[in-house]
Each structure stands twice: as structure tokens, then as C-alpha cells.
Amino acid sequence: MKPANITNIDLNLLKVFEALHDEVSASRAAVRLGLTQSAVSAALRRLRKVYGDPLFTRTGRGLAPTLRANQLKPLISEALNKCRQSLALLDPQAEQFEGRAVTLGLSDDFEIAYGRALIEQVQQLAPGLRLIFRQTHSQIVAAPYLSAASTWH
């Protein structure tokens, strides 16, 4: 196989790779990157050609990284982090939370009541930080504790 020339590769594909690996879903990666799902899928096809590997395979729960993808992840993330660090030199405060996310488990009613206010506060206090709301309710929250308690008997 002929080695790839970096001048012939769209380095934005590396951001897509990182998002796919972190999110294990093309839809969630698209939201994270501000792209459409079809754009992420097209980028994944191009990544597969570049690396000569499927990189991610479909499962019942989304996308599972291949061995090659798991080997590439720390290298690609390190390279992107170096790029983020170089850009942070322009305005150290601006990039502080870029690429980071916090996941909050909320019921629908709490998300409706407090979601917008939380998003606005985070945008003011931590620009670049992404909030992810996950649906939860008392049975979901209690399940790990209930199953752990049943093993104690």
C-alpha cells in the first residue's frame, strides 16, 4: 500500500473520526460537529479509504470502533489537542472548554423547565462546553442501586 500524502488529505476528517469514536453514533457526531448525518457518513467513507479499514462497525447500540480505530484514537486526539492548544494561544479563555461535554440525566419535565436556562448559563460561563441531556426517571436512576442491593442478600 502506498503511503498517504498529508497534502492530499482533508484534515477535517480527523475531527469527524474523533467525534465518531467519542459519540459511537453518526447522528450524535453530526450534532456535535454541526454537520448533517449524511456529511458524517460521507466523511467516514473517506476515512475508510485513507486508513484502509472499516474503522467502525454497526451494532445494535450504534457504532463500535475496530481495533485499528482504537489504535488511531489516541494519536488523532493528541494531534487535534495540539491544534486546539495552538489556537488557545490566541485567546486562552475562549478555547478552555472547546470539545468538552457534560452529560446530564433529567426527566422530560426538568429538561423542559430548566434546560434552556442551563444552556444559557453554560454559554455565558463556559463557552465551548457542550451539554448533553439524557432522558432519565426514578426507575432508571434506582436500577443500579436496586441490582446492587439484591446481590448483597
Say which amino acid occupies 133.
Answer: F
Question: H-helix or E-strand containing 131?
Answer: strand 130-135
pLDDT recorded at residue 125:
83
Looking at the fold, whether 116 and 76 belong to one and the same domain comes out as no
Contact call for residues 108 and 134 (beta carbons, < 8 A): no
pLDDT recorded at residue 139:
62
Q: What is the C-alpha separation between 17 and 25, in angstroms, rounded?
A: 11
Please list the ranges in the chain whose pLDDT falls under 70.
1-3, 91-99, 137-153
Contact call for residues 130 and 32 (beta carbons, < 8 A): yes
Looking at the fold, whether 72 and 104 belong to one and the same domain comes out as no
pLDDT recorded at residue 92:
61
Looking at the fold, whether 72 and 31 belong to one and the same domain comes out as yes
Looking at the fold, whether 80 and 144 belong to one and the same domain comes out as no
pLDDT recorded at residue 153:
45
pLDDT recorded at residue 12:
95
Q: What is the C-alpha separation between 24 and 63, in angstroms, rounded?
A: 5
Q: Are strands 101-106 and 130-135 parallel, antiparallel or unpaired?
A: parallel
CATH of the domain at 45: 1.10.10.10
Q: Report if pTM > 0.75.
A: no
Looking at the fold, whether 109 and 63 belong to one and the same domain comes out as no
pLDDT digits (tens, 9 = 90+) for 33-53: 889 999 999 999 999 999 999
pLDDT recorded at residue 93:
61
